[in-house]
Amino acid sequence: MNLNLKCKQYIDYNKMTDDEIIEFAQDGDEVALEYLIRKYRNFVKIKSRSYFLIGADREDIVQEGMIGLYKAIRDYKVEELASFRAFAELCVTRQIITAIKTATRLKHQPLNSYISLNKPIFSEDSDRTLLDVLKGSKLSNPEELFITYEAYEVLETSIKEMLSELELQVLMEYLKGKSYQDIAASLDRHVKSVDNALQRIKRKLEEFLEKNDI
């Protein structure tokens, strides 16, 4: 057995930085590669939760993310990039979104039905979107967040059911692009009442998306 290969088997990667391990992996050390893949698998799973493909299992999205992680390990340049984690996040996100966009170009395939939550809800004339309501939420993503058309229709219907009359009125006014002050004047409410209603709306929407794995 090659002495160098034998020695590599006893390297304690837990005591090494990602940059050091990546250099081993890029030199062909499969143990180092597997270590990085295991280390960042949960990270990829968390990133994958923000996306949905109709006709695909959740694990399919994760697998696309893992491909992105592999590409990050392969292409990362230690001397040029500040953080492997940030580079990996970019590669994982790009890989997932590319897979979604590729699926939309495949005619007659069930994977081509997705919609961005940046689409105005209830009316195409709305100045704001669902992501505007959820701004700052852990469910929001720097990239576009995609769900299916079917899930979007369910969401629109459920919003009307889960919100109180006041909350629905506030949401509709907010989506028109009105300020808190304008909404308060329009509904004859205090600005604080409008703010409280929007906070409740945000919480209910987040809970709905999480509960329904959207």
Residue 73: domain span: 11-113
* Mean pLDDT on 135-163: 60
Q: Is 48 helix (H, G, I), strand (E, B) or coil?
A: helix
Instruction: Tally the domains of the chain.
Output: 2
Tell whether 49 and 128 lie within a shared domain. Answer: no
d(C-alpha 115, C-alpha 51), whole Å:
10
Q: Could you tell me if residue 145 is inside a domain?
A: no
Label residue 175 exposed, middle or buried (CB < 10 Å: 0-12, 13-18, 19+): buried
Average pLDDT in the chain: 75
Rounded mean pLDDT, 161-183: 86
How far apart, in whole angstroms, are the C-alpha atoms of residue 104 and residue 189? 45
Co-location of 96 and 165 in the same domain: no
Q: E strand or H helix at 116, and its extent?
A: strand 115-116
* CB proximity list for 184: less than 8 A, separation 6 or greater: 190, 191, 193, 194
pLDDT band at 143 (very low <50, low <70, confident <90, very high): very low
Q: Assign residue 69 the CATH number of its domain.
A: 1.10.1740.10
Instruction: Determine the pLDDT at residue 111.
Output: 40
**Is residue 186 located within the same domain as residue 121?**
yes
Each residue's pLDDT tens digit, 7-55: 445 678 888 889 999 999 999 888 999 999 999 999 998 888 777 665 5
pLDDT interval class at 108 (50, 70, 90): very low
Residues 105, 165, single domain; the answer is no
- b/e per residue, 194-209, with b = 16+ CB within 10 A? beebbeebbebbbebb
- Give the lowest-confidence range in 34-43, 51-60, 92-101: 51-60
Question: In this predicted structure, what is the pLDDT of residue 109?
Answer: 43
